[in-house]
Amino acid sequence: MTIQPEEKYMQLAIEAAKTSAANGDYGHGAVIVKDGEVISTGFETLKSANDPVNGHAEIDAIRKACSLLGQPYLSGCVMYCTAEPCPMCMSAIIWAKMDAAVYAITRDDMIAEMERLKAESGGKFSWRQIAIPAEYIVKHGEPKVQLFPGFMRDVGLALFELTGK
């Protein structure tokens, strides 16, 4: 399957991220597309739902899409997310048999921003992470998922302004 990322879908993920932030969560959003149709939109609810697992926008989008389609696999689907999927979310994308993940900001972008926030807060800002990039997980997983990092990166970087607000 030849995949050409489309700005309109990333823009929907960005709007979901803004909604997540407006609800008191981190500014992350996700959208799943199949055959040119939006199947689901995922919102970050980690803080508002007190759920560090299901509260990820990508997991929310996957659960909704599987429920809507009535099946556990999402072959033919593309995940658009505002940030590089964490190891858990990237694994879920693989296990759901999705074709691709398109994301705006990379793990390196997130690390740089978190280091800036940590310095500004005098070391009080804390970010939990597992230092495994999405590319590594895809390389070692099956089925293979196409990755499109840095798509609309500048718009994604602007979402950092929502952190902590």
Residue 85 is classified by DSSP as: P
The answer to whether residue 135 is catalytic is no
d(CA 126, CA 110): 13
Half-sphere exposure at residue 158, Cβ-oriented, CA atoms within 13 angstroms: 7
Residue 47: count other Cβ atoms within 10 Å of its Cβ: 14
d(CA 31, CA 152): 15
Set 58, 84, 135, 142: catalytic member: 58
Orientation angle between helical segments 57-69 and 87-95, nearest 10 degrees? 20
| Catalytic residue list | 58
